[in-house]
Every structure is written in C-alpha cells, then in structure tokens.
Amino acid sequence: MNAHALSIQTLIATRMKEVRKASGVSQRALGKSVGLDDKRAGPYISRYESGVHATDWETTWKIAQSLGVSVAYLVAETAELAELIKAVQDYEPEELRALAEEIRVRQAQSAPQAQD
C-alpha cells in the first residue's frame, strides 16, 4: 500500500470512529448495519478503525450511509473541509448552487485585480 492510500485509510478510520462514537453507535451495530454477520460485525469495524484492515470503497460508502455522513466527509484532506462538508451535506441542490456562487463572488472580490 502506498503512502497516499495509507493516509486516506487513516482519515477514513479516524473520522469513522469519531462519528460512530459521537452517534452512540457500537462497533457491532455499525458492522451489522453494513451487512456483516453478527459474529464478525464488531471485530471487523474495530479492525477498520484501528487501521489493521482497510475498507474497500463499497464498504466505505455503506459505513458513511449508515453513519449519516458522506464519503467526501470521511476522506476530506483537512478537519475544516470535513466540517464544511458535514455542514452542507443535507442542503438541497439549489442551496448548494447558491452557496457555491456566494463563494465564487467572495473569491473574485478578494482576488488581486489584474493591472492593465
């Protein structure tokens, strides 16, 4: 596994554990919600969270759905970006478009003006 893949798995594991604990969901319950059998559910989630095993993208998607977050949240490069993603993940498409436009306007206003 390359360093980039390892860092992505570390992000997924860390955020997954944080959200699971904040939600009060046990490892076993999370494992069962993504289709693991009762016996393996808790141990597999424990291994994912500790980085012993890496989740595949399908399992990552199922975990994100079960925890009520997006995959983008789980893999965001910074804590600030992750929080932004979490804050807007339930916005309607028109709300997201309006927010994106507001950000573009703010960026244009703060960008240095080209000299003629």
Domain boundaries, the chain: 3-110
Rounded-to-integer distance, Cα 52 and Cα 115, Å: 55
Q: What is the CATH T-level fold of the domain 3-110, as seen in this structure?
A: 434 Repressor (Amino-terminal Domain) (1.10.260)
Task: State the DSSP H helix or E strand holding residue 27, giving kind and residue range, or none if neither.
Answer: helix 27-33
Report the predicted TM-score, pTM, of the whole model to 2 decimal places: 0.80
- What's residue 77's pLDDT? 87
Nearest residue to 20 via CA among 45, 47, 52: 45
pLDDT tens, 21-53? 999 999 999 999 999 999 999 999 999 999 899
Q: Name which residue leads in pLDDT, 85 or 111.
A: 85
